[in-house]
A and B are shown apart, each in its own frame.
Chain A
Amino acid sequence: MDMMKVAQQHVAIDMTPMIDCVFLLMIFFVLIIDLSQQNLEDLVLPRAVYRVLDDQPPKNRPVVNVLQNGSVVYRQRVVYDPAVHGKDYRPIKELLLAIRREGLANKAGRENKLVGGRPVPLMDVPILIRADKWTEWHYVGEIMKQCCQPDIAFWQVELALSEVDKEAGEKDRNRTRR
């Protein structure tokens, strides 16, 4: 084979490895950068056998996280810290009022109900409370108490649970209600 023939030989570029790499990168970033998970603090939720799967959460559902020490975290910001605020729960109330204002501004699930004889717009989008399994209940209860105040009127509250106890490694998939 002379040099001319070598130079004219058709060179086929194999695109397969490049496409594979692109797919790998895409899958990696899609799974890692999940923006909806940004509001979720790293907590160990209690395991429950009877629960409702949270596979299709409502759009714009507010998620309030409660850490082990009772700190309330919303969108990665510590709103209430028991060490600082003690029994002054006003920051929680202000947070819920702000969430309500934002929700009503978006007109998501607006419904007027008579509360104390006057029409009050109710938020029909639930609020999700995520607390660590070793969070004292009264911190969660305080948020629930604030939610049912007439000026806040969040009447649907969801408590986050897990199908797995990350501490004990227990798992039960059999009795999930949809």
Chain B
Amino acid sequence: MSLLEEVQEEVKWDMTPMIDTVFLMIIFFVCIDFKVLESKLQAYLPKESGTRAAIAEPREQLPVRIYVESPGVPEYQSGTAAGLVQEGTKRPNRFVLKDHRVRWEVGPKPLYSVQELTAELKRIALDPSSQVPDQGTGGRKLLGCVIEAHPGTYYDDVAKTADACNEAGFREISFGSGLGGK
């Protein structure tokens, strides 16, 4: 083979490894989207509940109350309805609650949005009178808050409230167990 023929020889690109890699990446990213990483909110319940001989000292806590302003209307996907179950899972059909609104009360002040709630909680957190003795260190710390969800409130309302408390700087957040159904 002469040098000229060698230079003119057609160069064939082997596309197989590249296509394989692309497919691998597509499958990886498609599948990873199904596994949205979950997070958690830790809640520590009292260890020493029940009858006990020792007298527990009362703890000063800031109550954050959630009341329902508008219960909302459940909206089902087209083709589904309340009372029916899904074909595959046999679980009840899922709804999305529309026009559900709540009101928060921190002390006597009513608040109608998460932004208002956060601002009020931040104001309280910065107030020197919100500092309470820390029995662990002997110093002072920000008082804890307790979320009291009234009938008709949803898990989403409580999660948003806890979020606002965290943003304001409260670290000891307790949850009321709910005050009954609607």
Tell me the A residues contacting B by CB distance below 8 Å.
16-17, 20, 23-24, 27-28, 31-32, 34, 37, 41-42, 44-55, 66-69, 71, 113-117, 122, 126, 128, 130-142, 144-145, 147-150, 153-164, 166-167, 176
Interface size range on B against A: 35 or more
Q: Take A48-B163, A134-B156, A167-B96 as given contacts and tell me if A31 and B32 are in contact as well, using a CB distance cutoff of 8 Å.
A: yes
Q: Is the CB of A133 within 8 A of B159?
A: yes
Alpha-carbon distance A160/B16, docked complex (angstroms) = 43
Question: How many residue pairs between the two chains, A and B, have CB atoms under 8 Å in the bound complex?
Answer: 197
Q: Is the CB of B156 within 8 A of A141?
A: no
The reply to whether the CB of B109 lies closer than 8 angstroms to some CB of chain A is no
Q: What is the distance, in angstroms, from A72's C-beta to the closest C-beta of chain B?
A: 12
Alpha-carbon distance A164/B38, docked complex (angstroms) = 9
Q: What is the distance, in angstroms, from B102's C-beta to the closest C-beta of chain A?
A: 11
| Chain B residue nearest in CB terms to A122 | B47
Q: Is the CB of B40 within 8 A of A51?
A: yes
Main secondary structure of the interface of B (DSSP, over half): mixed
Residues of A within 8 A of B48 (CB): 113-115
Alpha-carbon distance A114/B155, docked complex (angstroms) = 33
Q: Take A42-B89, A137-B157 as given contacts and tell me if A115 and B52 are in contact as well, using a CB distance cutoff of 8 Å.
A: yes
Contact of A138 among B37, B39, B162, B181 (CB under 8 A): B181
Tell me the B residues contacting A by CB distance below 8 Å.
16-17, 20, 23-24, 27-28, 31-32, 34-53, 74, 89, 91-92, 94-97, 149, 151-160, 162-163, 166-167, 175-182
Q: Is the CB of A160 within 8 A of B39?
A: yes
14 contacts between A and B (CB under 8 A): A27-B28, A48-B162, A66-B155, A115-B48, A115-B50, A130-B38, A132-B155, A149-B49, A155-B47, A156-B42, A159-B43, A163-B36, A163-B37, A166-B36
Q: Is the CB of A24 within 8 A of B27?
A: yes
Alpha-carbon distance A54/B37, docked complex (angstroms) = 7
Alpha-carbon distance A164/B33, docked complex (angstroms) = 11
Alpha-carbon distance A133/B74, docked complex (angstroms) = 13
| Chain B residue nearest in CB terms to A153 | B47
Q: Is the CB of B155 within 8 A of A135?
A: yes
Q: Is the CB of B41 within 8 A of A147?
A: no
Alpha-carbon distance A40/B167, docked complex (angstroms) = 29
Contact of B39 among A51, A116, A157 (CB under 8 A): A51
Q: Is the CB of A155 within 8 A of B44?
A: yes
Q: Is the CB of B151 within 8 A of A155?
A: no
Contact of B177 among A31, A117, A138 (CB under 8 A): A138
Q: Is the CB of B41 within 8 A of A131?
A: no
Q: Take A46-B156, A161-B38 as given contacts and tell me if A147 and B45 are in contact as well, using a CB distance cutoff of 8 Å.
A: yes
Residues of A within 8 A of B39 (CB): 48, 51-54, 160-163, 176
Q: Take A150-B50, A155-B45 as given contacts and tell me if A54 and B38 are in contact as well, using a CB distance cutoff of 8 Å.
A: yes
Q: What is the distance, in angstroms, from B83's C-beta to the closest C-beta of chain A?
A: 10
Q: Is the CB of B177 within 8 A of A145?
A: yes
